[in-house]
Amino acid sequence: MCGFIGIAGLPGNEVAAELYEGLIALQHRGQDAAGILSFDGKFHQRKQNGMVRDIFHAQDMEHLKGNLAIAHVRYPTVGGGAGEDAQPFYINFPFGVGMAHNGNLTNWVDLKSRKFPAANICLESSCDVEAILYAFAMGMQRTLKMDPLADRLRTAVESAFEHAKGAYSVVGILSDGALFAFRDPHGIKPCIVGRRVSAKGTEWAVASESVAFDVLGFERFRDLKNGEAFLVVPGQDPVFIQITQKKHTPCIFELVYFARPDSFLDGVSVYKARQRFGEAIAAQWIEAGLPTPDAVIPIPDSARDAALSAALALGVPYREGFIKNRYVGRTFIMPSQAQRKSSIRRKLNPIPIEFEGRTVLLIDDSIVRGNTSRKIIETARKAGASKVYFATTSPPLIAPCPYGIDMATKDDFVARNRSSEEVRIEIGADLLLYLDMERMIAAGRAKNPELTEFCTGCFTGQYPTPDAAEHLEALSAERAAMRV
């Protein structure tokens, strides 16, 4: 999972500093590396491993010239992390094009080892966007004399869709002086277009999440549709091109965990969706005849909105029982179980007075390996809770994500081949409730009737694209090899 933003500013407007602000707003989507690529007749780039604030300095903004620029934050999936895999990527021949993406190709190995060598293309990095860039370039090359630019983009994106399988949203710059974007045929990854109107004219932007627009004064124009491309030359009207379309299945885990609550994805407020998850938990809790807790306590941060609405619906107080130390890094991706477990305790510290003698309902977004919930339940008991109930705003996670959300290999999921009762015992809760799939989906799509389905592969093992299962086998072998 990664994040990107691109801006087509008015001629003469320098946009790099704005992209920096946009990246800061998207930092939650990737803390491993970041980069900005700008264009003022030629490309200028800075990218490196690290956090956005540590990579870019005032002199970089002077060097990153131009009114067209794209930027990226990277979240490594398996095997990644090297500096040369930081994005954006660009080529200058046979024409100039720069690109950044969010997502994962399921046929990258086949492209790298077979299809591209046959076309004399040698991929240098292990970053998927390089493959998309070359697939795009192969199409573009067939169009060099074609006009207008929108037709050339169409051919290039068709070529990208033909070669690159999986889930991806892409933002890019053409050296003709245009910003473009496209979203995969299933629209699994988010991609939104923004607009900023001033007395001087209209500027356009594209981003993974609308929160990047808020900080820059852009309004949400609309989400790209699945299989759709967008093109804008600064100062001109943009063009939307529907290239192909399969069933639109955006990733529901964006709403559950990944996106910021102040974003809108496919017209759905993430914050409101999480509130509805909480109401749905409360309804399910009551329908199941489970005992009313003394208080509802969220596992910060992603479960806060849901816990608040669940507490209201259950008619019990909402309490902050755990304080998160935001300077402890990501426990989730630490290599060993022992490291993951000890950092969870350092990351979440209890406020004992909220637990002493109380029956508490803890709400989290999800249970993956079960480390967090087990440790948190143990901590709540040590802090004096008389009973600890646990609920999640999603159903049991049982299958890895082939599309770039780092989760675990299939054997790591605590809910795989275990009943809900067995998971309850594993994590040490007095009661465990997983939000039903139907209720989660209904809450996710409530405000956008056009959304009929989501990608729910991590809950079902059924994925929208055909070669996802093969890809996961390869990934799991790679992880096993890394462990030895």
Q: Which of residues 244-283 bind ligand AMP (CB under 6 A)?
A: 257
Judged by CB under 6 A, the residue of 31, 67, 275, 302 near ligand AMP is: 302
Q: How far is CA 188 from the centre of its chain?
A: 10
- Residue 466 φ/ψ, nearest 5 degrees: -65, -40
Judged by CB under 6 A, the residue of 268, 405, 435, 475 near ligand AMP is: 405
Q: Provide the mask over 133-172, with x wherever binding to ligand AMP is found by CB under 6 A and - wherever it is not.
A: ----------------------------------------
| Catalytically annotated residue among 2, 127, 191, 455 | 2
As measured in angstroms, the least distance from the Cβ of 256 to ligand AMP is 8
CB nearer ligand AMP, residue 155 or residue 372: 372
Q: Which of residues 351-390 bind ligand AMP (CB under 6 A)?
A: 364-373
407 lines the binding site for ligand AMP (CB under 6 A) = yes
Residue 448, CA distances (Å) to 134, 173, 330, 466 in order: 35, 31, 33, 27
CB nearer ligand AMP, residue 275 or residue 373: 373
Judged by CB under 6 A, the residue of 299, 314, 363, 399 near ligand AMP is: 299
As measured in angstroms, the least distance from the Cβ of 252 to ligand AMP is 12
Burial class (CB in 10 A: 0-12, 13-18, 19+), 372: buried
Q: Provide the mask over 200-239, with x wherever binding to ligand AMP is found by CB under 6 A and - wherever it is not.
A: ----------------------------------------
Judged by CB under 6 A, the residue of 95, 240, 271, 332 near ligand AMP is: 332
CB nearer ligand AMP, residue 18 or residue 365: 365
Task: For residue 377, give the 3-state DSSP assignment.
Answer: helix
In the chain, count of helices (H) and strands (E)? 17, 21
Q: Give the CA count within 13 Å in the CB-facing half-sphere of 196.
A: 21
31 in the Ramachandran plot: left (φ > 0), alpha (ψ -120 to 50) or beta? alpha
Strand order in the sheet with 228-232: 89-91, 97-105, 166-174, 178-183, 228-232, 239-242
CB nearer ligand AMP, residue 294 or residue 406: 406
2 is catalytic: yes
CB nearer ligand AMP, residue 104 or residue 366: 366
- Residue 115 φ/ψ, nearest 5 degrees: -65, -45
As measured in angstroms, the least distance from the Cβ of 374 to ligand AMP is 8
Q: Do residues 320 and 297 touch, judged by C-beta distance below 8 A?
A: yes
As measured in angstroms, the least distance from the Cβ of 371 to ligand AMP is 4
Task: For residue 178, give the 3-state DSSP assignment.
Answer: strand
As measured in angstroms, the least distance from the Cβ of 366 to ligand AMP is 5
DSSP string, 394-436: S----S--TTS-----GGG-TTTT--HHHHHHHHT-SEEEEPP
Q: Give the CA count within 13 Å in the CB-facing half-sphere of 454.
A: 27
As measured in angstroms, the least distance from the Cβ of 150 to ligand AMP is 37
Residue 142: count other Cβ atoms within 10 Å of its Cβ: 13
CB nearer ligand AMP, residue 185 or residue 370: 370
The set of catalytic residues is 2
Positions in the binding site for ligand AMP (CB under 6 A): 257, 299, 302, 332, 364-373, 405-407
